[in-house]
Amino acid sequence: MNTSESSVITDHLRAFIGVESVPVIYEIERHAVERFACAIGDPNPLYTDEIATRASSFGGLIAPPTFLRSLLPGHYPEPYPEPFAHILDGGSSYRFMKPVRVGDRIAVTRKIVDLYEKHGRMGTMLFKISEQKYVNQLGQLVATQTTTTITYGDGEKDSGVGDH
Amino acid sequence: MATIKSEPDDAVETGTELPTLWFEDVDVGNELPELIKMPDTRQLVMYAGASQDFVAIHYDLNVAKAAGHPTVIIHGALKSAWLAELVSGWIGSTGRLLELDVSYRAIDFPGTPVTCLGKVTGTRIENGVGLVELEIGLRNVDNVITTPGRALVSLPTRTVIS
């Protein structure tokens, strides 16, 4: 297979590997956590029942594990040159070190750790592996999320392409 | 040495029972109680708002059809949220979810039920902590696992392990 001839991974694109996004700090609001738990349909009292959580080993309200997903990372210092129009989410790997509590302030950063391409039914597809880091107000790394984002195809860009 | 109170004073007001799952009560091969979800387009819109994911293929029928789908598609991250719900509900308030890996192999659509499944594939003690390895997945109405994954949790132990 000849990949050198028409690679979409230009030197410019490859230079984004390892570059950290501008940090964004989120306050973990009780109502946002409730709204997320309601949207996914998770009745776990740890996210909404303050009395129950105070008596639990957590000692207070926490966010659902994948609530981190709603804390969107910021942009890279330079605009990321997305070559394709359409986007697919390939998956996520989370590592949870500490619970995320209501009232926490969580700083989010993202960096691309790998880029590779595959050729298939939908033409050339670009696979972007990114690592999100979530750090609380005490400077503790509370979680990481490694995502696989697949982009492909020409035409008008989907809304949201470039956010992920 | 100071004594730390294990419960706040108003613990008696506890409204919801949070059961404890003990490490000693878990064996390889145990299956988690199935979690069945019946997603509709309303839930996708709710999730889009709650998660700030505004990729149009999840709510705009024209965009979904242009991409070759019969209707809008379920957010992969929503499927991860359900698998996290499956595991978190099982371990209760004393277990901890440590790792969650989910892979979106096939697309799922609103309008048909999906079933979240989990099975214990390993148990071990590491540094005095009870760890349980799980195989998890989301199964569609055609009996296909569209979204396989794994999780690692820690559970409290009844006995002190040295």
Task: Determine contact, residues B39/B75, Cβ cutoff 8 Å.
Answer: no
Segment A54-61 mean pLDDT: 93
Kindly report the number of other CB atoms within 10 A of residue B72's CB atom.
23
R_g of chain A computed on alpha carbons: 18
Which pLDDT belongs to residue A122? 81
Cβ of residue B100 closer than 8 Å to a chain A Cβ: yes
Note whether A160 contacts B54, CB cutoff 8 Å: yes
Domain assignment of residue A123, yes or no:
yes
Q: What length is written for chain B?
A: 162
Mean pLDDT of the region A93-113: 98
Residue B162's pLDDT band (cuts 50, 70, 90): low
B98 — contact with chain A (CB < 8 Å)? Answer: yes
Please give the residue of chain B at the shortest CA–CA distance from A150: B104
Helix (H) or strand (E) holding B90: helix B76-91
* B46 shares contact with chain A (CB less than 8 Å): yes
Q: How far is CA B59 from CA A19, A70, A164, B9, in A?
A: 32, 17, 17, 47
Read off the pLDDT of residues A5-20 as tens digits, 9 standing for 90 and up.
Answer: 579 999 999 999 999 9
Write the DSSP string, A40-84: HT---GGGT-HHHHHTSTT-S-B--GGGGGGS-----SS------
Cross-chain CB nearest to A36 (options B51, B67, B80): B51
A21 belongs to a structural domain: yes
Residue A86: pLDDT band with limits 50, 70, 90:
confident
What pLDDT score does A73 carry? 97
- Return the sign of the alpha-carbon dihedral for residues A144, B145, B114, B64: positive
Residues of B in contact with A59 (CB under 8 A): 8
Q: Residue A152 above 50 pLDDT?
A: yes
Q: Where are the domains of chain B?
A: 22-155
List, as ranges, residues 88-147 from A with C-beta within 8 Å of B.
Answer: 88-96, 99
Percent of chain A with pLDDT over 70: 93
Contact A106, A67 (CB under 8 A): no
Are the beta carbons of A45 and B56 separated by less than 8 Å? no
Which pLDDT score, from 0 to 100, does residue B22 have? 96
Ordered DSSP codes for A5-19: SS-S--HHHHTTBTP
For residue B121, pLDDT beyond 80: yes
The answer to whether residue A126 sits within a structural domain is yes
Contact B16 A72 (CB under 8 A): no
Q: Please report, for the domain that includes residue A20, its CATH number.
A: 3.10.129.10
Residue percentage of chain B with pLDDT more than 90? 81
Report the complex ipTM.
0.93
**Count: domains in chain A:** 1
Confirm or reject contact between B38 and chain A (CB < 8 A): no
Range of the domain at A101: 11-27+72-152
Distance between CA atoms of residues A162 and B24, nearest Å: 46
Q: What is the pLDDT of residues B21-47, one digit of tens each?
A: 999 999 999 999 999 999 999 999 999
Interface test with A, best of B104, B105, B129, B147 (most A CBs within 10 A): B104
A156 and chain B in contact, CB less than 8 A:
no
Q: Which residue has the higher pLDDT, A149 or A160?
A: A149
The CATH number that domain B22-155 falls under is 3.10.129.10
Q: What is the pLDDT of residue A20?
A: 97
Rounded average pLDDT over B89-94: 95
Selected for mutation to probe chain B from A36, A40, A51, A141 (highest B CB count within 10 Å) is A40
Mean pLDDT value of segment B55-77: 94
Confidence at A39, pLDDT banded by 50, 70, 90: very high
